[in-house]
Amino acid sequence: MGRTLAEKVWDDHVVRRAEGEPDLLFIDLHLLHEVTSPQAFDGLRKAGRPVRRLDLTIATEDHNTPTLDIDKPIADPVSRAQLETLRRNCAEFGVRLHPLGDVEQGVVHVVGPQLGLTQPGTTVVCGDSHTSTHGAFGALAFGIGTSQVEHVLATQTLPMTRPKTMAITVDGELPEGVTAKDLILAIIARIGTGGGQGYVLEYRGSAIEQLSMEARMTICNMSIEAGARAGMIAPDQTTFDYLKGRPHAPEGEDWDAAVAYWKTLRTDEDAVFDAEVVIDAARLAPFVTWGTNPGQGAPLSASVPDPASYEDASERLAAENALTYMGLTAGQPLREIAVDTVFVGSCTNGRIEDLRSAAAVLDGRKVADGVRMLVVPGSVRVALQAVEEGLDKVFTGAGAEWRHAGCSMCLGMNPDQLAPGERSASTSNRNFEGRQGKGGRTHLVSPQVAAATAVLGHLASPADLTEAAAPATAGV
């Protein structure tokens, strides 16, 4: 019988298989950051163990890094201690590190792909649930906990139970103004935050094949929000073109051998998935969340749902709690929800293409009075590219703040936070209670919706701007 993409990559990494035990999988790439690694290094030190494969390990600083005044000492002593701990650990064990201020620094899931380290058919892990991002290249990539970080550092392997596979087929063409972010939010609303549990998702179909690598990363990134540890997309010419010439992409004969192998990484015609979901791309629209988990979303044209309309008692209760926390009323049109903060960035939407699309909407327009807009590039390289293209000027010209790279307001571990009661339209991945700051309220949106929302001051799509003043200059 044929095999799925996930099964092929899995099988290629089995170091040892025994009846009744998890498979021992080899890990091709281990990404580290400051939050989930200190206790792992501490464990190694106590046991007197070295890092087994320094050549398959790389670290960056992202969660705690400030996005202002990065040349000054970090004000929060606890953040500073965590970054210093990572620096000390990397120096002691010999791990390659890109610290704050380095040109390769950035959000770990932006850095791996842009260096060309994330490649098709590899296994990628990181102590971070959004490691699923790297599945966009046809890699089997998943988040792990700190004990597993220590395990990979010590052995370059992980004992894992083979997951089930789910096909999410998206056929047709996405309508104008509908992005990868809208698509993944709609998928999560459809299958629920637990719908992908125990599965590796494979996104396929004509709508997926047409997407850029950045858009594919946005989709795979949020697989975890549907409960799936990993999401994958079969590599194709778009993938190869993205990788060619990157610092760590194979060269010469190795490139040819790699591409030949990568081309085998497609689900066989006769392979059987454990579950299948089919989505019609043409029927999608800009999508936003109204609640406190990423599955609580609806098209922008809809209204806040009535909790009483849920048949399932726990969903009804979750919706009631969400409306209370979010300060919303059932029946309120989503377009009428006013925000005071707009955040563009994160491992979901902090890549160059995301910044371009937000800038295209903002160009010649102004951020509404009373709205604070933060634009945080996903990495220093993304920032440099944006500056080269003049995007930073578009953002600052519109009244947005152009910041340094990092995770920033996605989870507010650095000073970029919402104050209690503040409401954001955010291109990040989680609208959990307090995620962006204690008492903060988050609506997950695409970069385009974020930009249009910044201009109008309430949740909006670029199409809503046509009635406002036309842009003074041509689009970026």
Partner 1 sequence: MEAFTTHTGRAVPLRRSNVDTDQIIPAHWLKKVTRDGFEDGLFEAWRKDPEFVLNRPERQGATVLVAGPDFGTGSSREHAVWALQNFGFKTVVSSRFADIFRGNSLKNGLLTVVLEQKTVDALWELTEADPTVEVTVDLQRREVRAPGVTAPFELDENSRWRLLNGLDDISITLREEEHIAAYEVSRPSHKPRTLQG
Shortest CB 41 distance to partner 1, Å:
9
Print the binding letters for residues 295-314 with partner 1: x by CB under 8 A, - otherwise.
-------------------x
353-372 residues in contact with partner 1 (CB under 8 A) are: none
* Given 107, 265, 318, 373, the residue binding partner 1 (CB under 8 A): 318
- Stretches 38-46, 205-213, 348-356, 449-457: which one binds partner 1 (CB under 8 A)? 38-46
Asked if 185 touches partner 1 (CB under 8 A), the answer is no
Q: How far apart are CA 377 and CA 156, in angstroms?
A: 31
Using the minimum distance from each CB to partner 1, give the nearer residue, 100 or 224: 224
Q: How many CA atoms lie within 13 A of 155 on its CB side?
A: 12
Q: Which of 7, 61, 62, 128 binds partner 1 (CB under 8 A)?
A: 128
Contact between 198 and partner 1 by CB under 8 A: the answer reads yes
Give the CA dihedral 231, 460, 334, 339, nearest 10 degrees.
100
**Which is nearer to partner 1, 283 or 438 (by Cβ)?**
438
Taking the complex as a whole, the smallest distance from the CB of residue 10 to partner 1 amounts, in Å, to: 14
Residues 207-226 that bind partner 1 (CB under 8 A): 224-225
Count Cβ atoms below 10 Å from residue 91 Cβ, excluding itself.
10
Using CA atoms, how far residue 73 sits from 101, 277, 294, 374, 413, in Å, is 12, 49, 35, 22, 16
Judged by CB under 8 A, does residue 248 bind partner 1? yes
Q: Per CB under 8 A, does 103 bind partner 1?
A: no
* Stretch (H or E) spanning 5: helix 5-11
Among residues 229 and 404, whose Cβ is nearest to partner 1?
Answer: 229
Whether 90 has a binding-site annotation, put simply, is no
Q: Which residue from 268, 315, 340, 389 is in contact with partner 1, where contact means CB under 8 A?
A: 315
Please check whether residue 293 is in contact with residue 433, taking contact to mean a CB–CB distance below 8 angstroms.
no
Cβ-Cβ contacts under 8 Å for 363 (sequence gap 6 or more) = 394, 398, 471, 473, 474, 475, 476
CB 450 to partner 1: min, Å: 21
Buried b (16+ CB within 10 A) or exposed e, 434-469: bbbbeebbbbbbbbbbbbbbbbbbbbbbbebbeeee
Residue recorded with tokens 């591409």: 259
Among 169, 238, 321, 385, binds partner 1 (CB under 8 A): 321
Asked if residues 454 and 362 have their Cβ atoms less than 8 Å apart, the reply is yes
Q: Do the beta carbons of residue 363 and residue 476 sit within 8 Å?
A: yes
> Dihedrals φ, ψ of 163, to 5°?
-80, 165
Q: What are phi and psi of 187, to 5 degrees?
A: -65, -45
> Considering beta carbons, is residue 7 or 392 the nearer one to partner 1?
7
> What part of residues 3-32 is at the interface with partner 1 (CB under 8 A)?
15-16, 20-22, 24, 26, 28-29
Q: How far is the CB of 302 from partner 1 (least distance, A)?
A: 21
| Site for partner 1, residues 419 to 438, rule: CB under 8 A | 430, 432-435, 438
Q: How many residues bind partner 1 (CB under 8 A)?
A: 83
* Residue whose structure tokens are 């939050």: 35
Q: Would the CA dihedral through 61, 63, 64, 68 be positive or negative?
A: positive
> Judged by CB under 8 A, which stretch of 203-211, 278-286, 411-419, 460-468 contacts partner 1?
411-419
- Alpha carbon distance 476, 458 (integer Å): 23
Residue 280 pairs in a beta bridge with: 171
Of residues 107 through 126, those in contact with partner 1 by CB under 8 A are: 116-119, 122
Q: State the DSSP string of 141-210.
A: EEE--HHHHHHHHHHSEEEEPPPEEEEEEEES-PPTT--HHHHHHHHHHHH-TTTTTTEEEEEESHHHHT
Give the shortest CB-85-to-partner 1 separation in angstroms: 5
Q: For partner 1, which is the closer residue by CB, 346 or 453?
A: 346
Judged by CB under 8 A, the residue of 51, 56, 217, 371 near partner 1 is 56
220 among annotated binding-site residues: no
What phi and psi values does residue 384 have, to the nearest 5 degrees? -65, -40
Contact criterion met (CB below 8 Å) for 224 and 128? no
State in angstroms the smallest separation of the CB of 140 from partner 1: 14
Residues 130-169 that bind partner 1 (CB under 8 A): 143-148, 150-151, 154-157, 159, 161
Single-letter residue type at 205: G
Query: Binding partner 1 by CB under 8 A: which of 114, 129, 239, 267?
Result: 129
Interface with partner 1 (CB under 8 A), residue from 184, 328, 394, 411: 411
Q: How far apart are CA 182 and CA 190, in angstroms?
A: 12
Residue 42 binds partner 1 (CB under 8 A): yes
Smallest distance from the beta carbon of 78 to partner 1, in angstroms?
4
* Annotated binding residues for [4Fe-4S] cluster: 347, 407, 410
